[in-house]
Amino acid sequence: MTRILLILGVVLVAVGLLWPWGEPEQVQREAAQETLRFTTAGPVVGFTSEENTYTWLGIPFAAPPVGEMRWRRPLLPEPWSETRPALSFGAPCAQLSNPTAGVPGDDGEMVGSEDCLYLNVYAPQKSSTGDGELLPVMVWIHGGGNSIGSALTYDGSRLAGTQDVIVVTVHYRLGLFGWLSHPALRAVASGPEDNSGNFGTLDLIASLRWVQNNVASFGGDPDNVTIFGESAGGLNVFSLINSPMAEGLFHRAISQSGGTGTSNSDWAENYSDDPVVPGNPGSSSEVVVKLLQTKGMASNRDEAKAQVAGMDDAAIRELLYQASPLELYSGMENFGSMLKFPNMYRDGAVLGSEPLFERLSDPASYNSVPLMTGTNKDEMKLFQFLDPRMVKVRWGLFPTIIDPDRYEWSNRYFSDVWKAMAVDEVANEIGTAGPVYAYRWDWDEGASNFFIDYGTMLGAAHFLEVPFVFGNLDVSMMPGLFDEGNRRAADDLSDAMMSYWAQFAATGDPGQGRKGELPRWQSWTDSQGAFMVLDTEAGGGLRLDSDGVTAAKLKQRIAEDPALQDPEKRCTLYAQFFHGDLHTRRYFNQAEYEAMGCATYPVEVLAREAF
């Protein structure tokens, strides 16, 4: 389970293959006078775009969080009086170079900027004149493990233009700039927001406040706002459901391949070798000792820890604030370009003090809104495809699965546990407290060519559904994924998904889609635990299915699986799923673990092992 949570939202390599770099530098856009709009900070002008839409790019929704505002709540942007051209994206937030940033950079280089709190608006031309009926608003939160990614790589014009919705895509501080909780920072905090360490979450809340105050000028209804995001973006959707400060700022929520996990203060701040309560290897204490070594102020970890013990809060703050982005990241453990660090701190102000999952049955304890949540059938195949233990690449061109049986078996287990934690258990816990619409995305019809069999190697992998939601199949898929045999059906599935998503945004119920022509999507409660399968006719079509997966079912499968006769293998799988992370230990049962023949295997050790 640790493996799943560490890669939750990691789309760096996938997006590098699937998604283009951000807008080319040579793009020259011409301002269209009819797009002049007045925001609370000042007037902006955009341009005409695809699908009969208008687009405004790079609108600041908060002041730059730089200098002394690093690790502080976002403030309102400085107003302007002259019309501001909104013709190009704002900078992505500071991160290690990777394709999801949308800008080029070398390996190990920091790209983007700390001045990054900008958003983009896509609106149908016919409805964005400021007159007539206001349209549903859909606010997109990008994924990337909360440490990489940007809005540059998501074009909302087709979703907006074909479905009569307003699409807003946003940036939020990432990595150590978005989430850092340390006593030295709290010592000078001016209130609970600055105290929280959840600065990326606060950025998202600030963007939603901007929507409330400004989206009507673009034709959007501030009383009908849907937040939606994928992977870490889906996790962030749940964090906003969990945040008292986000109350009333949105009215529906869609989590694609997300999760409900949050971190406690010990995990966020303690040393990883703390003798009482160990913290995360990327905790704020570890950040400080690594920074001392990076800056040449200590020669090793022990020396750095001793030095920290003699520093007061002011000295630690000075160290942190004077560090460059690259210095802060140097020495930190990464998964590719994604930083391994704790985030989503249960501070009791920005996020609830208890795990969200434990409060889902009581709608008064969180922001209870209509919810759509789902995962992809083969989430894990993306990560297995990138794992040299699973796939070998001959001559740098021809990927081959090393052990096909293991490939499929491992994918099924790890993809199902993702669905259990993000979909079925969530929906069961909410029960009748609020409407939940569940789905599983099953499209696994990628074409086969001389180099690769996409259908087998990737199937319905993590992230692959996102271009279907935005209707951007032409520009977002890897070469050869589509051919004459599968493209028409894929287009039809994309149209259906956009229709369901937009109808949910409009009404809180995906129903039969925007035009009422699709199979009816019933809620979890009304259908007695059924979810919508999103697939083409060749894969069985759009349909409700009740073959769910829960923690209890997974435990039974592990106990009875003939492929797990080796007790260590069986115990390792159980430990990883149900003890591998603070977020899932609610399912761990020591007596159950021992009854499976695992008493001689320390669960803490097995939970950290690679399976």
Contact predicate 371/434, CB 8 Å: yes
Find, among 515, 522, 494, the residue nearest to 164 by Cα.
515
pLDDT by residue (tens digit) across 146-195?
A: 999 999 999 999 999 999 999 999 999 999 999 999 999 999 999 999 99
pLDDT by residue (tens digit) across 95-136?
A: 999 989 999 999 999 999 999 999 999 999 976 445 579 999
Residue 583, pLDDT above cutoff 90 = no
Residue 72, pLDDT above cutoff 80 = yes
Angle formed by the axes of helices 404-419 and 551-560, to 10°?
Answer: 150
**Residue ranges of domains in the chain:** 268-339, 370-545, 554-606
Residue 20, pLDDT above cutoff 60 = no
Find, among 101, 163, 90, the residue nearest to 126 by Cα.
163
Torsions phi, psi for 169 (to 5 deg): -115, 140
- Name the residue with higher pLDDT: 22 or 354: 354
Exposure string of 361-374, with b = 16+ CB inside 10 Å and e = fewer, is eeeebbbbbbbbbb
pLDDT by residue (tens digit) across 546-578?
A: 999 999 999 999 999 999 999 999 999 999 999
Least confident range of 147-151, 447-451, 452-456, 553-557? 447-451
pLDDT band at 337 (very low <50, low <70, confident <90, very high): confident
- Name the residue with higher pLDDT: 173 or 12: 173
Give the C-alpha distances (Å, rounded to integers) separating 302 from 127, 269, 318.
Answer: 62, 17, 21
pLDDT band at 357 (very low <50, low <70, confident <90, very high): confident
Residue 8, pLDDT above cutoff 80 = no
The side-by-side arrangement of strands in the sheet containing 436-441 is 47-49, 53-60, 118-124, 166-170, 135-141, 220-230, 252-256, 371-376, 436-441, 531-534, 543-545
Percent of the chain with pLDDT over 90: 84
Amino acid 152 reads L
**Total-model pTM:** 0.95
* Mean pLDDT confidence for 195-201: 97
Exposure string of 255-265, with b = 16+ CB inside 10 Å and e = fewer, is bbbbbbbbbbb
| Tokens 């807008």 found at | 23
pLDDT by residue (tens digit) across 319-328?
A: 999 999 999 9
pLDDT by residue (tens digit) across 298-314?
A: 999 999 999 999 999 99
Please give the pLDDT value at position 480.
83
pLDDT by residue (tens digit) across 259-312?
A: 999 999 999 999 999 999 999 999 999 999 999 999 999 999 999 999 999 999
Least confident range of 14-23, 24-33, 168-177, 214-223? 14-23
Instruction: Spell out the alpha helix ranges (H) of 295-375.
Output: 301-309, 313-322, 325-329
CA dist 490 and 477 (Å) reads 12
Torsions phi, psi for 124 (to 5 deg): -60, 140
* Mean pLDDT confidence for 438-466: 95
Q: How many CB atoms lie within 10 A of CB 250?
A: 24
Residue 13, pLDDT above cutoff 70 = no
* Mean pLDDT confidence for 455-469: 96
pLDDT by residue (tens digit) across 228-250?
A: 999 999 999 999 999 999 999 99
Residue 7, pLDDT above cutoff 70 = no
CA dist 377 and 156 (Å) reads 25
